[in-house]
Structure formats: C-alpha cells, structure tokens
Structure 1
Amino acid sequence: MASSGATTLRQQRLGFELRKLRENAGLSSTAAAALVGVNQGHMSRIEAGRYAVSAERVRAFARAYACTDQSLIDALAGMTGRRTRGWWEEYRDILPPNMLDLAETEHHATAMRIASVIHIPGLLQTADHARVLASNVVPPLTPPDVEHRVSYRIKRQAVVYGQRAIPLTAIVHEAALRMGFGGPAVARAQHRHLIEASTRENVSVLVIPFGAGTFPGSGQSIVYCSEVVPQLDTVQLDTYHGSEFLDAHAQLVKYQKVLDLMEACAISPAKSRDLIARIEKET
C-alpha cells in the first residue's frame, strides 16, 4: 500500500464509499482497521483517498462490513490501485484540478446525459467554438493557456468519438444555438458539427425550443455521468468558481428527475436536427 501522489476525485470517491460501507456496518474506524489488519493512520488515509488500496483489500473491507452487493464490490475493486495516468495528467500543472477531475470522471463513465442552455456542451464543441469561449474568461488567459484549454476540451471528446465511445444524450436549448459565439462562420461550423454528431449511433441531440417555455434546470449546465453501478454515478455542475461534483443519493435522484423533465420538453432527434439546420441557414 503506497501513497498515490496528487489525490483525484475518483480516489476520494473510493475512500468515501468505503467509509460509507463501514458506517452502514456500525463499525468505528478503529474497529474496522483491526478487522482488516491495517493501522488507524492507514485507515484514515484510505478513507480520505490519500492512499492507494488494492482490490483484495477492498474485498476484505466488504467482507468485514458484511456487504453482499457484489456488483458494488466489483465496481469499487475496479477503482483501486495507483492512479491511472490518463491523458489528462499532462495538464496537471497547467489546468485547475477540477477540470482534470471532470475528464477522469467522463473517462470512466458508462453513459452520459448533458443539459445546457447557453452553451453548446463541451463534448460537442468545435475547436474554434471552444477557443472563443476560452478567450473570454475572467480573468483573461494568455494565448498559450487558451490553446491548452482548447486541446484539453478536444481530447475529452474521445468518450464520444473514440474506440470506447459511450452513449451520450445532449439536451441543448435553442438559445445556445442562436448565441453566435465567434461570428457567423464559427457558428455555422458549430451547427454543422452538431448535426453530424447527432447522426452517430451513440449520440442523441435533443433541442428545447423557445416555445417550450420554462422548465426545471434552466439556470445551469448539468453533466450526469453514469457508472457501472448507479451508486457511483456523479453529477457535475458548472459554477462561476469552477466545477461542483455531487454524488449523494438524493442529489443524484434530483438531477435524474431534472434531466427527465428537460428531455420531456425537447423535440425529437429528427426535429432537433431540422431546427439546427434551419438556424444554421439563418446565421
């Protein structure tokens, strides 16, 4: 068992889930440490996500806690070991940690649902569209930092276009389609890209038209990442101070319902493509 360097959101989540199993079993940290043969300091670091833990150790914890949910145990065991050095690690000293956490969360997701009112979802943006957005943040970024953010955003899109492409449902409000970021040429290219993406088998683009009126979730972008078991799902929200990640059961249920209601307000995929094409011609 060894320290794993910079603590990631995924490591923290594993530690939190192990702590939750322990608490559900009614065991103190000291008692649990004795049962599995680790000292109190190691137990605290494991539950804080600061120590790598093996799959065998996770299964030992599960036995000690009398956990019989085999699917959950297998999923937790799959989160173990030293931190996987994914492509996002090359940005560790360049981008804020929560941006790397989002990339890692998306990488391990089995399916995603995204809702956005003002912006085109990042996983469906063109490089030029992403560059316009990165060039207008506060405080302003240097040109090299802008390009780092653009390349990071494009690499994230491997979850949609790569070899292990996952199902993606993107709920986009008509307002996002009409914002015209970057001017007509950039906007038209973004519209065409969105139409092309919507024809992929794993991608569904649903547009909420202006005529739909008000709906839940209209004030923020939502990213819902499904995991191999629903207990490990994660919601990411964009805020002015960065990403906020939610994983409590009540929060997951709430945002599932919000996304369901937003999806119900959207028009069909075919009608959505027609609307995007019409807006492109008007741009």
Structure 2
Amino acid sequence: MTSAPPPTGRRQRLGSELRKLRERAGLTATEAATCIGGNQARISNIEAGRYGVSADRVRTLASHYGCTDKELVEALAAMTGERKRQWWEEYRDILPAPLLDLAEVEHHAHHLRGAITGHVPGLLQTPEHAREIFRHAVRTLTPPDVEHRVSFRIKRQAVLFREDPVPYQVVIHEAALRIQVGGPAVHRSQLDHLLSMSELDHISVQVIPFEAGAFPGSGQSIYYAAGPVPQLDTVHLDQTHGLAFIDGAEPLSEYRVLFERMAAVALTPSQTREFIGKIAATS
C-alpha cells in the first residue's frame, strides 16, 4: 500500500488560514464540521493540511465562520483543487521539504521582495556563484548534494523568466557585491549577470552603499512573497538551523515597513546599475 504524499506548504497554509477563521468565530472543530457533514477529525485534518478541501467547502466554512472578506475567501478558494505534480516534486526525497515549500511559495507569489545584506540573492545568482556558496555552507555537503542544490536554485529562477514573470524588487548591501565568491572570474561574471538582470522591466535592484552607514534592518535578510491578499503574504527567513516561514499578521506588517525603510536608504535602480558597473570594472 502506497503512503499518501506529504502535505505541501500551500495546503498547510490553507488549513492554517481556515483554522484562524474558525478560532476567530469561537467555534470548535466539532461545531465547524456540522456545516460540511463531517466530524472533528476531518476538520482537524483539513486544518493540518493532511486532507484536501474543495473551493465550495472553503466558501461554506468561511460563511459558517462569519467571514465577510470576499477577497480573502476567494483567494483561499483558489488555493484548493487537485494537487498537480510540479517540477520541485522531483527533489522531494533529495532536499529538505522547506526548500520545496519555498519554490511553491515563489511559484504562486504575486510579487517578491528581498533585502539581502551578506550575499547576492539566490534568484539572481549564476550557477558558478551558487556552487561556491553551497560548497561553503554551514553543514558540509557532498559533491552530489551541492549539485542538487545548484540545479534546484537555478530552476527556481524560472519564475523570473516565464510568460507572466513575477515582479521582483531586491535591496542588496555593497558588502555582498565586494565579496569575491569563487575568485575574480566567477565574481566578475556574477556582477555582469546582476547588471543584466537589473535591466529587465520586472526586476528592480537597489544597493545600499557602505557610505550609507547604519541602516534599518542592518545584518538581516528578508525574503517577502506577496499573496493575492495581504493576509496570505509570507516572509521566508534563511537561518543557520534551517528555513522558517512567517505568516502572522503583526510580523508581516513589521517586515513590510522594514523593507520600505531599507529601500528608502538604498540607491535608485539607475544609480545602482552605475554603481555595480564601477565595481565590475575594477574586479
């Protein structure tokens, strides 16, 4: 007997949002189950992402919970449907599950924002640059593991090249541009690639120069994926012990403000291209 596939991060997020609506309505899982002809166990499994749920049932549950935010309800309904196998599933038994969840979040994002202080963001890295990053990861990776992660990172970049590319705004500190990851040749190639990507209409790159001094969010990295409504936004934090996803209303609001403050002290996109060009010319 084959085991059921593990729940995706998207299905878990849907379940989590339905649980929030139920709890705000002051209903137990048993009480909620009555409106869909189920039982407490079914509601618990839906909220944990173990069971799928139809769009109609999402609307029924939301109505039962007294949710009047039509945009949110329809956004949640759009997260349902049959689970289609996506490209990241081929890495299911190779890479940590949170990495697959990250690819899924990016795939469905309405726009992406990143504020990186220590390295070039993954979506804008060359394969050679990414390979060197993984070779020096905190946890030692075998050569095959390094190659799996490089290929996965490059495939993630498809969201920037598809027919409907995801708008991407990123703020990078000058330090990330000065570190010669992989040596002069790899470094120069990475800077040239960054310049090329920054010229695309849907990509905005801004640099915070050393001369800006202290700035909001110094030392932090933020990766913000916007959903169809603000309640479904997600912040991804890349930490030493692993990946973390933040979706609480209060921290999301704080990260939005922090990103805007970081972008405000950075050079404009046009100034940034000139700035990167000067660094590349002397590398």
Task: Quickly name the TM-score band, shorter chain normalised.
Answer: over 0.9
Q: Which residue of 2 aligns with 1:230?
A: 230
RMSD (CA atoms): 1.2
Q: Map 1:69-108 to 2 at 5 A.
A: 69-108=69-108
What do residues 219-259 of structure 1 show as CA deviations (whole Å, max 9, x unaligned)?
Answer: 22210000111100000011001111000000101100110
Unaligned segments of structure 2, at least 5 residues: none
Q: How many corresponding residue pairs? A: 281
How far off is 1:107 after superposition? 0.6
Judge conservation of contact 1:4–1:52 (CA < 8 Å) in 2. Answer: no
Distance (Å, rounded) in 2 between the aligned partners of 1:261 and 1:9: 29
Unaligned segments of structure 1, at least 5 residues: none
TM-score by length of 1: 0.97
How far off is 1:4 after superposition? 5.7
Distance (Å, rounded) in 2 between the aligned partners of 1:95 and 1:136: 17
Q: Which residue of 1 aligns with 2:52?
A: 52
Distance (Å, rounded) in 2 between the aligned partners of 1:260 and 1:234: 16
Q: Which residue of 2 aligns with 1:144?
A: 144
Judge conservation of contact 1:4–1:51 (CA < 8 Å) in 2. Answer: no
How far off is 1:142 after superposition? 1.5
Distance (Å, rounded) in 2 between the aligned partners of 1:105 and 1:121: 16
TM-score by length of 2: 0.97
Q: Which residue of 1 aligns with 2:239?
A: 239
Q: Which SS does the other structure have where 1:157 is aligned? A: helix
Judge conservation of contact 1:4–1:83 (CA < 8 Å) in 2. Answer: no
Could you tell me which amino acid in structure 1 is paired with residue 146 of structure 2? V
Distance (Å, rounded) in 1 between the aligned partners of 2:128 and 2:202: 24
How far off is 1:95 after superposition? 0.5
Distance (Å, rounded) in 1 between the aligned partners of 2:106 and 2:65: 30
Q: Which residue of 2 aligns with 1:114?
A: 114
How far off is 1:191 after superposition? 0.4
Judge conservation of contact 2:138–2:240 (CA < 8 Å) in 1. Answer: no
Q: Which SS does the other structure have where 1:100 is aligned? A: helix
How far off is 1:164 after superposition? 2.1
Distance (Å, rounded) in 1 between the aligned partners of 2:32 and 2:192: 56
Q: Which residue of 1 aligns with 2:20?
A: 20
Distance (Å, rounded) in 2 between the aligned partners of 1:137 and 1:272: 28
Judge conservation of contact 2:21–2:62 (CA < 8 Å) in 1. Answer: yes
Q: Which SS does the other structure have where 1:181 is aligned? A: coil
How far off is 1:20 after superposition? 0.9
Q: Which residue of 1 aligns with 2:275?
A: 275
